[in-house]
Amino acid sequence: MSPPIAVRDRTSMIIGGRAVPAASGAWLTTYDPSTGEPLAEAPRGGPADVDAAVASAHAAYRAPEWARLTPPDRGRALARLGALLLANQDELGTLETLDSGKPLSQGRRDVALAARYFEYYAGICDKIEGAHLPLDAEHLAITTKEPYGVVGVIVPWNAPLNQAARAAAPALAVGNAVVLKPAEETPLTAVRLGELALEAGLPPGVLNVVTGLGSEAGQALVEHPLVRRISFTGSVETGRLVAKTAADRIVPVGLELGGKSANVVFPDADLDAVAASVLRTMTHNAGQICSAATRLVVHADAVDDVLDRVSAALAGVTVGPGLTDPMLGPLISRAQLDRVLGYLDLGGREGATAVTGGGRYTGGDLARGYFVQPTVFAGVRPDMRIANEEIFGPVVCVLPFRTEDEAVEIANGTGYGLAAGVYTRDIGRALGMSRRLEAGQVFVNEYQAGGVETPFGGYKRSGWGREKGLAAIDHYSQLKTTVIRL
């Protein structure tokens, strides 16, 4: 199947407003996860390229074209970028689908969400206010929110454009300049974001994109002395490394890391809504979502009913290459396929039962790509590894409970704390559970409700800080107190 848009064989990085290859001349290949075939090549940026990008961001941050832009004009530039993302939704959605494997409607939705970040933060530029602090008759004390300067943004492959926009839009709204490092698996839409930023009128150097490996370009970005703040989205292991490096330089880091989120289902819940939610957890980006509800903590009396409804819902799942817009696409890579299959094997060895799925799709063209069957494990105990470790695929573990206390203990029983869900018709119980669940966001009766406006981040090892909403503005600005003797 040929893509409906031209995928450039070789893409560039965007540094200082120019499309450039890596200084070393090296390239990285990106693959179509539906077939395993090479898709495009991106520059393998390294420390020299990061240095050039940070230098250009640093210069652009201080240049009058950005530093003296009025807040409304900064907002207009961001709004134009949001509009350009929407105007190019077909192209960008297709690129995202080809690069990441996600179904086309999900790729297109990610573009719309990315546009929303720029729209939302465009409107905030002229509302980033400080305060007047009452002291005494002889003094005036005020606070102002100021940009850091150069912000380094490192994102993973599961929602590349969306996560880039989530960090870049608030960082730019405050007046910072950004160097973005997309994942090596999915550089294509990030580069287009850099191009569209220029088209929208952002001055050259304000939004740079360096493609390359994490251990090369990513690490160089975190180590660069002119990078004053870091936004990292990815795994706990890499987040820990990034935080250690940043700690050496005393540079603040936002960490958006993994999860093993629990969805707690009480017997009075709308079980069809629960089944629909499980279906979405498995099919949305093939389960490769940090906040996916991968543990279904169900009252023991409702387990059989829930399993029947989930199995029935999964029977209708369509599978195929992202461009055919199925419900379920492939995983991102061979490495991720091996990881998920390893956990499917482990689940069996730990004594859990796969009531649906349990392996990869091996028939016809699907055998060429990285397709895994939606797998529901029953008979899972909280101490099993499959109930504690992030699998990052279409896999859900069902854990039964008898009492509310037991449900809370199971739900809070992993090292993660990104999101949680509660399904019940009892509002008092829902609110009580929300208080007791250790998670950055709790969804009641609709998992993953909310949007750009709702702050997002993790408790425990799921991360530090909050992206999205007004909370992100505090993150990308530093507070200055000025006290004047009158």
Residues that are catalytic:
256
Q: Rounded CA gap, 27 and 64, in Å?
A: 35
Based on the shown chain and the rule CB under 6 A, indicate whether residue 369 belongs to the binding site for ligand NAD: no
Based on the shown chain and the rule CB under 6 A, indicate whether residue 49 belongs to the binding site for ligand NAD: no
Selected range binding ligand NAD among 67-75, 112-120, 139-147, 149-157, rule: CB under 6 A? 149-157
Q: Rounded CA gap, 352 and 386, in Å?
A: 9
Based on the shown chain and the rule CB under 6 A, indicate whether residue 475 belongs to the binding site for ligand NAD: no
C-beta of 223 vs 474, nearer to ligand NAD: 223
What six digits make up the tokens of 440? 């950055």
Based on the shown chain and the rule CB under 6 A, indicate whether residue 241 belongs to the binding site for ligand NAD: yes
Please give the residues from 158 up to 197 whose contact with ligand NAD meets the rule CB under 6 A.
158, 181, 183-184
Which runs of consecutive H residues, i.e. helices, occur in 28-137? 47-62, 64-67, 71-87, 89-100, 104-122
C-beta of 200 vs 396, nearer to ligand NAD: 396
Q: Could you give the 3-state DSSP secondary structure of residue 407?
A: helix
CA-wise closest residue to 426 among 299, 276, 296 = 299
Binding ligand NAD (rule: CB under 6 A), the pick from 179, 257, 262, 271 is: 257
CA-wise closest residue to 10 among 34, 32, 26, 33 = 26
C-beta of 82 vs 258, nearer to ligand NAD: 258
Using CA atoms, how far residue 328 sits from 24, 110, 161, 282, in Å, is 38, 16, 20, 8
Q: Rounded CA gap, 384 and 388, in Å?
A: 7
Based on the shown chain and the rule CB under 6 A, indicate whether residue 253 belongs to the binding site for ligand NAD: no
| 459 bridge partner residues | 417
| Interaction mask 379-418, ligand NAD, x per CB under 6 A | -----------x-x-------------------------x
What six digits make up the tokens of 267? 């017997």
| Interaction mask 423-462, ligand NAD, x per CB under 6 A | ----------------------------------------
Based on the shown chain and the rule CB under 6 A, indicate whether residue 290 belongs to the binding site for ligand NAD: yes
Q: Which amino acid is at 484?
A: I
Binding site for ligand NAD (CB under 6 A): 154-158, 181, 183-184, 214-215, 218-219, 222, 233-235, 238, 241-242, 256-259, 290, 390, 392, 418, 463
